A = this chain, B = another copy of it.
Amino acid sequence: MRELGCDGVPKPFERVVRANIGDCHALGQKPITFIRQVQALAACPALASSAAVPEDVRQRAQEILDDCTKSSVGAYSPSAGLQVVRARVAQFLSARDGVRACADDIYLGSGASDVIKAVLTMFVQDVDGKPPAVMIPIPQYPLFSGTLAELGLRQAEYFLAEEQQWALDVDELQRCWSRASQDCAVRALVVINPGNPTGQVLTRENMEQIVKFAYEHNLFLLADEVYQENIVSKPFFSFKKVMHEMGAPYSSMELASFVTCSKGWAAECGQRAGFVELRAAAAAPAFRVARAVMQCPNVLGQCILDCVMQRPAPGDPSYPQFAQELSDIRQVLAERTQTAYETFNSIPGYFCNPIDGSMFAYPRVSIPEAAQAAARELHMSPDEFYCLRLLEETGVCVIPGTGFGQLPGTFHFRTTILHPRDEFQHMMDSIRRFHHDFLQRYS
């Protein structure tokens, strides 16, 4: 699709707008200076004598290097990650949840993808002759379906309730579980909160229902909480906090929760840094062995995680610049989220739930019967047809709902919303105009 603009044939648009990938830096967000300075000094400590960097940057880099064997980021770290970083993660989680987190439960990875795959690998064994299955939401982030397929795990799909702001409906969870249980052993439940592609933040009440459901069905809960720092207006409750506050027996349930530096304000996708907090006493030893085979996550990525877990504080030399950069990023997120929500709902035939967080919108689009027929002719789903036309006519590249899943008969696409203001406005205008023309053509 990206090559569409480059084949020499004149196009009815000036440029391709890539709205297909959740990568803030690729959309022009500037890296956080503090993070990059710490990384640079950790890579090349000799620069400290010649480069203009604040004192807290030097200190932070030194603290990390002190925990590297022979002070080199080129030495393997422990396979779960540097102790100093894991301690900082534990502090962050403790402060976030008001529940003590333990550094021994933290395993750093090469992005969240790496540790998500590692945790899913825990479930590959048959149970009493039944093949294992994992419950995942529809729509979902395709890492889950892709990894389950690669690992030979069955995928049990539950639909998010679009009419209830993409909540998890317990009857639907039950339906999914019962059906999958006919021929599989359902081992785990994946919840993505805040949602990708859906952008909702679950209510606390809904989270409690989910925890109870998982408890009753003896499911291991995988909480993909990578967008927790991308929330605009609601508070974020982690599953760990909710479980803890629900008390026994829920407070001691098994749980894997995922965080990544690819998201949030750092948005350092290319640097591959994330972690899982794994509360699973029985499974931990085998998990540790499997992680050790792969050596360790990249140490400069671990530096970023360290910076994200403990940011510059008021009074630190780096604080003023950091605070400014952070507030700029937050403002962009708040603005785009609001504008996307309003714009999509103002287009006839579009429906979009409130976007609580993440960096996506996932509007539902009604596609006229004539267009659906045209799609069938081309052996495409209607949403694929719609998105391809959108790309060909406007240069706006979004992902059809088919890529994430949707209730049969409904059509969606996912767009990232973090473009610079002009680009974003151009994209919104293009979509509106395109949809208007599309309706005219096919009705």
The CB with the most chain B CB atoms within 10 A, among A21, A69, A147, A152, is that of: A69
Q: Which of these, B36, B271, B294, contacts A44 with CB under 8 Å? A: B36
- Give CA–CA (A23, B77) in the complex, Å: 10
- Which residues of chain A in 231-284 are interfacial with respect to chain B, using CB atoms and an 8 Å cutoff? 262, 266-273
Which B residues are CB-close (under 8 A) to A77? 270
Query: A50: CB under 8 A from chain B?
Result: yes
Across the interface, A69 reaches (CB within 8 A) one of B26, B70, B111, B146, namely: B26
Which residues from 104 to 158 on chain A have a C-beta closer than 8 Å to any C-beta of chain B?
110-111, 113-114, 117, 121, 124, 142-143, 146-147, 150, 152
Interface flags for A26-42 (1: CB within 8 Å of B; 0: not) read: 11100101001101110
Q: Which residues of B have CB within 8 Å of A47?
A: 37, 40, 47, 51, 53
Q: A26-B69, A44-B40 are in contact. Are A297 and B272 (CB under 8 A)?
A: yes
The reply to whether the CB of A295 lies closer than 8 angstroms to some CB of chain B is yes
Task: Please give, as numbers and ranges, the residues of chain B lying within 8 Å of A72 by CB-CB distance.
Answer: 25-26, 31, 270
- Kindly list chain B residues whose C-beta atoms are within 8 Å of the C-beta of A271: 73-74, 298-300
The chain B residue with its CB closest to the CB of A272 is B298
Report the nearest B residue to A31, measured CB to CB. Answer: B74
Query: Given A39-B44, A271-B74, A299-B270, are A69 and B293 also a contact pair (CB < 8 Å)?
Result: no
Binding site for B on A (CB under 8 A): 21, 23, 25-28, 31, 33, 36-37, 39-41, 43-44, 46-47, 50-53, 68-70, 72-77, 110-111, 113-114, 117, 121, 124, 142-143, 146-147, 150, 152, 262, 266-273, 289-290, 293-301
A-B contact pairs, 27 of them (CB 8 A): A21-B76, A23-B75, A23-B76, A25-B69, A26-B72, A26-B76, A36-B44, A37-B44, A37-B47, A39-B300, A43-B43, A43-B300, A47-B47, A50-B50, A68-B270, A72-B270, A74-B270, A75-B269, A113-B295, A114-B294, A124-B152, A146-B290, A150-B290, A269-B295, A270-B299, A271-B300, A272-B296
